[in-house]
Structure 1
Amino acid sequence: MPGTPAAAGLDPAWIGRLVSGVRALPEGRAPWCAGAVVLAGRGPVVAAEAAAGWAVRYRAYDPGRDRGVELPRDRWEPVRVGTVFDLASVSKLFTALVAVQQAERGRLALDGPVGAHLPAVAPGITVRDLLRHTSGLAPELPFHAHRDRDRQLALLWAEAAAPTGGPYGGYRYSDLNLIVLQLLLERLTGRRLDALVREGITGPLGMAGTAYGPLVPQGVAATEDQRRPWAKADRGMLRGRVHDENAWALGGVAGHAGLFSTAQDLAVLCRTLLDGGAYGGVRILAPASVAALLDPPGLGFAVDQRSFMGELAGRGAAGHTGFTGTSLVLDRATDTFLVLLANTVHPRRRDGGSAPRAAAATCLARAVAAA
């Protein structure tokens, strides 16, 4: 529910710094993003909710001048608190939740071999390995270069049979882990991943602003003027179409990317997890399943990653980031949550780093400490 920092047990001055810091992100000569939304709270209270910058500002990117080509000023569209963003890898969290739901129902064994259901996968790789990125699978494959589904699967199964990404058991972040997990879930349930997410998560929780694309562009933040050589495909300015080229090539519904959402919807997800798997009288996970997801080292969730969690890290904070500029963090130790959504890749992808994410999280941590 909306409230004040004081009502949430948070220091108003530090929450003010959090909001002012996010509002500054689209400004200056080298802005971190075109636009952003932040939502932060503690317990059931939303203590901060703000929007800044532009959901759409550019019509293209000019590589010769290394700058965006702006739309006429009257066609710029401001970010609003309800603007929909491409979540990029934050989508992985939803795939992880679906997997744990299926484990609860006895359809999936977290420590069972994936190869029992997908025979092309190397012996020894378990569902837990996929969720913890310890399978040894390569970080990615060029699915975008092969729009034929059979060719894409041939690439995936060749890698899954003999992983090249690193030693089995060692951590190596890989989109392929969540793509293989998607195929496993679809094999076991007979349902597509988008249906599993809708039926198991977004529908019961009333997350009406969360869906896989393509979406009607209105109300959606634009991402990139996607063209070679800086991108992997020539698709033009994207808005409501998934930014990740491999997710696009796989049809827009992929285990590693493809979801779009709002800050309000992600706050509902955070509160659901902080409250042990229930929200508004609806339960989507048992408390033990939530603990399995969030307890170190996490299943699908990153835990205590100071690079984007700032001073919230250290006591079991969990969350994820997305390449397009998105992130969420929830901290059971302080009962706080932070959602920061931005379109850092508008009009062209670049690595802006996670310093603004960490700074926002640190403000929230200090708002707890100073209250």
Structure 2
Amino acid sequence: MLKLQHGIFILFFFAIVSANAQAVETMRNSIDSVVYEAINAKAFPGCVVYASKGDSVFFMRSYGHHTYDSLRRVAVNDVFDLASITKVVGGTLAMMKLYDEGHYQLEDPIGRYIDKIGKIGKVTFREVMAHQSGLYPWIPYYQEVRRKNGNFKKNTLSFTPDEDYTYALSDSLYLHAGFYEKIKKMIKKSDVSKEKKYRYSGLFFYLIPELVERFTGMSYEDYLVENFYAPLGAKTLKFNPLESISSKQIVPTEIDTFFRMESIHGKVHDEGAIMMKGVSGNAGLFSNAQDLAAVLQLFLANGKVDSLQLLSPQTIQLFTAVQYPSNENRRGLGFDKPLLTYDSIASSVAKSASFFSYGHTGYTGTLAWVDPETDLIFIFLTNRVYPSRTYRALYQQNVRPTIHQFIYDYLQAIERQPDDPVENTK
């Protein structure tokens, strides 16, 4: 009987291995097909697809090239402009730590801690972080700096550098050292809707660096590095990456034909973030897939890495939960969530993504998503805005949710394997 059981086990083991190999091949072929079709349709020149379950990375693959000239292939460790993913692994991450440290309460008005912000100061942290405050969606700062005659306004931009204009936005455009006060003034003057309903806005996230410095005495960038990126070993997750990363490892974004008038490569694509010297809570972070995953893994690990408790589990649960479901608002605090009613056209994530999942998209075509119900992390890094933001095939072909669903299908396939037959013979 023992020999029979042993023989059954061996046959069953090879059956599982074969079934798992088939599931892997099906997933890989499906993803390959979608990505190559998207590249051919000029959805993006290249991308990196990453997926892990728990501590195990089961899919990490690079596709295509940095640009359509096909001179440099994308590698899995290449660095991409994360765009609005910065909101969750930068701005929101800092706000979570500040909340843990007791610096503010969610029902506090933001004007209690941010000076010279006017009527916007009446909205609460919960409202602005859940996009329920009525703030105006965005401000084209690069347009607001020009007079009607085309000249730059005082203390804004200059074509020549000097002691006041030190930060290079491009090869021929320089930012005034005190420009942040101009940004605050524009935010102060912007519209605030009296109707409290969901309206996505990035304006508050430009103010987060000031909050961090006021509460802690540290710069926003140093605060993130010391409390998160360094303990996590996330060396490529950073602002202004050209200061320490070779341009060959950084994937270009857009060829700017309306503001900076050059190819954007290694500087943040977002026009607002670049006018904060590349460091904001709204955009500005660059990373490879592995280092971005390290932050997402921290959320799945209830805020703990090794022996360090970087965030409390309660804060992670609070910030990643829907805040205003009765107002048809799916958002958490800083985090995006699945649509309250799934729509295959409107959704950026798979239909199988659980209600408890969360993450964020980025304007450059990026996506980072965490599902605690399945311990799944999914990352899609790309530069869909190359050579121009008018390229929309990424959305038209539903590339990201389709790949995301293939990954869920794979997990469901391997979970359907039968139990150990030796156990079943007892």
Which is higher, the Rg of structure 1 or of structure 2?
A: 2
Distance 1:368 1:315 in 2: 17
CA 1:12 to 1:246, structure 2 compared with 1: closer, same or farther past 3 Å? Answer: same
Distance 2:306 2:21 in 1: 22
Which residue of 341, 352, 355 corresponds with 2:393? 352
| Greater CA drift, 94-103 or 183-192 | 183-192
Provide Cα deviations, 1:342-365, integer angstroms capped at 9, x if missing partner: 011111112334411111111122
Which residue of 195, 199, 215 corresponds with 1:172? 199
Distance 2:384 2:334 in 1: 23
- Residue 247 (structure 1) aligned with residue 273 (structure 2): yes
Identity %: 28
Distance 2:413 2:294 in 1: 25
| Greater CA drift, 41-50 or 310-319 | 310-319
Distance 1:10 1:44 in 2: 22
Taking structure 2 as the reference length, the TM-score comes to 0.75
The 8 Å contact of residues 304 and 313 in structure 1, kept in 2 or not, is answered as yes
| Greater CA drift, 334-343 or 270-279 | 270-279
* Structure 2 match to 1:20: 32
* Structure 2 match to 1:282: 308
Which residue of 395, 405, 412 corresponds with 1:362? 405
* Structure 1 match to 2:353: 313
Distance 1:336 1:6 in 2: 23
- The 5 A counterparts of 1:24-173 are 24=36, 27-28=39-40, 30-57=41-68, 70=69, 76-93=71-88, 94-121=90-117, 122=119, 123-145=121-143, 146=145, 147=156, 148=176, 153-154=181-182, 156-157=184-185, 159-160=187-188, 164-167=191-194, 169-173=196-200
Provide Cα deviations, 1:125-163, integer angstroms capped at 9, x if missing partner: 112222111222211113224334656534534543x65
Distance 2:278 2:36 in 1: 32
Partner amino acid, structure 2, of 1:362: Q
Distance 1:343 1:207 in 2: 21
**What displacement does 1:258 show?**
0.4
- Residue 298 (structure 1) aligned with residue 298 (structure 2): no
Q: Give ranges in structure 1 of 5+ residues lacking alignment.
A: 58-69
Corresponding residue pairs, total: 346
Partner amino acid, structure 2, of 1:190: G
Three-state SS of the structure 1 residue aligned to 2:105 is coil
Q: Give ranges in structure 2 of 5+ residues lacking alignment.
A: 1-16, 146-155, 157-175, 323-330, 415-426
Distance 1:324 1:272 in 2: 24
| Greater CA drift, 260-269 or 130-139 | 130-139
Provide Cα deviations, 1:282-316, integer angstroms capped at 9, x if missing partner: 33211111101212241111011451112233422
Provide Cα deviations, 1:83-104, integer angstroms capped at 9, x if missing partner: 0000000001121011110111
Partner amino acid, structure 1, of 2:56: V
CA 1:155 to 1:208, structure 2 compared with 1: closer, same or farther past 3 Å? Answer: closer
Partner amino acid, structure 1, of 2:379: V
Q: Which has the higher strand share?
A: 1
Partner amino acid, structure 1, of 2:32: S
| Greater CA drift, 256-265 or 301-310 | 301-310
The 8 Å contact of residues 360 and 368 in structure 2, kept in 1 or not, is answered as yes
Provide Cα deviations, 1:28-62, integer angstroms capped at 9, x if missing partner: 2x2211110011021111110100111244xxxxx
The 8 Å contact of residues 8 and 47 in structure 1, kept in 2 or not, is answered as no
CA 1:107 to 1:38, structure 2 compared with 1: closer, same or farther past 3 Å? Answer: same
Taking structure 1 as the reference length, the TM-score comes to 0.85
Partner amino acid, structure 1, of 2:213: E
**What displacement does 1:217 show?**
1.1
CA 1:219 to 1:299, structure 2 compared with 1: closer, same or farther past 3 Å? Answer: same
Three-state SS of the structure 1 residue aligned to 2:194 is coil
| Greater CA drift, 78-87 or 129-138 | 129-138
**What displacement does 1:192 show?**
2.1
CA 1:100 to 1:12, structure 2 compared with 1: closer, same or farther past 3 Å? Answer: same
Q: CA RMSD in A?
A: 2.6
**What displacement does 1:214 show?**
4.5
CA 1:112 to 1:18, structure 2 compared with 1: closer, same or farther past 3 Å? Answer: farther
Three-state SS of the structure 2 residue aligned to 1:41 is strand
Provide Cα deviations, 1:184-208, integer angstroms capped at 9, x if missing partner: 2222222222112111221111001
The 8 Å contact of residues 365 and 394 in structure 2, kept in 1 or not, is answered as no
Distance 2:201 2:278 in 1: 18
Q: Which has the higher helix share?
A: 2
Three-state SS of the structure 1 residue aligned to 2:349 is helix
* Structure 1 match to 2:255: 225
Three-state SS of the structure 1 residue aligned to 2:348 is helix
The 8 Å contact of residues 221 and 279 in structure 2, kept in 1 or not, is answered as yes
Distance 2:249 2:182 in 1: 38
| Greater CA drift, 346-355 or 238-247 | 346-355
Distance 2:178 2:237 in 1: 29
The 8 Å contact of residues 236 and 288 in structure 2, kept in 1 or not, is answered as yes
- Residue 271 (structure 1) aligned with residue 297 (structure 2): yes
Partner amino acid, structure 2, of 1:12: V
**What displacement does 1:19 show?**
3.3
